[in-house]
Amino acid sequence: MSNSNNGATKEYDIYRDSLLRYLGYSNEVGEAFRPLIHRNFVNLSYGVAVSYVLADCYDKSSKVYEKTKDLKKTAIMTGDVFLWQMLASVIVPGFTINRITTLAIRFLRKKDLNKAIKKAIPTGLGLTSIPFIIKPIDHFIDYVMDNTYRKYF
């Protein structure tokens, strides 16, 4: 069940094609707010994102199992969804937003600005970058998955 553009008509996927997709980016919101909030809230945002990943795994895997009753196909689907979602929703975008905010903090460190502004600017940059990184990261992870995991399974 590849989400890449291989010429086939793509079925609507609530976890990847709706606003629910942004739940997978809750950890990026946490990363963006890292300069302003306690790290426990950042960690909680990762819990929300991983819950989204697990919900997508359950949804797709149960559909495959209901249709095929084949445990091997179900396990392959579970692996595919879990890897794709962890890479596309948690790991790569979390790292990206973390780097954006960290670089902004370093850049602003020596500037003569109010401390609150020095914390708010990295958060603003992190938050505003989220909508711009989603599609490129999703397409990149599709490419990676199509040329690794999906090639062998």
Which whole number is the average pLDDT over 128-152?
95
User: Phi and psi of 11, rounded to 5°?
Assistant: -75, 140
pTM for the structure as a whole: 0.84
User: Minimum mean pLDDT among 5-14, 19-28, 135-144: which range?
Assistant: 5-14
Can you give the pLDDT at residue 19? Answer: 87
| Cβ neighbours of residue 46 closer than 8 Å, sequence gap 6 or more | 26, 27, 30, 90, 94
Can you give the pLDDT at residue 4? Answer: 47
Instruction: Check if the beta carbon of residue 52 is closer than 8 Å to that of residue 23.
Output: yes
% pLDDT > 70, the chain:
95
Residue 21, pLDDT above cutoff 90: no
Instruction: Check if the beta carbon of residue 93 is closer than 8 Å to that of residue 133.
Output: yes
Residue 133 CB burial class (10 angstroms; 0-12, 13-18, ≥19): middle
Residue 3, pLDDT above cutoff 50: no
For the chain, the domains span: 14-152
Q: How many helices (H) and strands (E) does the chain have?
A: 7, 0
Nearest one of 138, 134, 17 to 84, comparing CA atoms: 138
Residue 129, pLDDT above cutoff 50: yes
Name the average pLDDT for the chain.
91
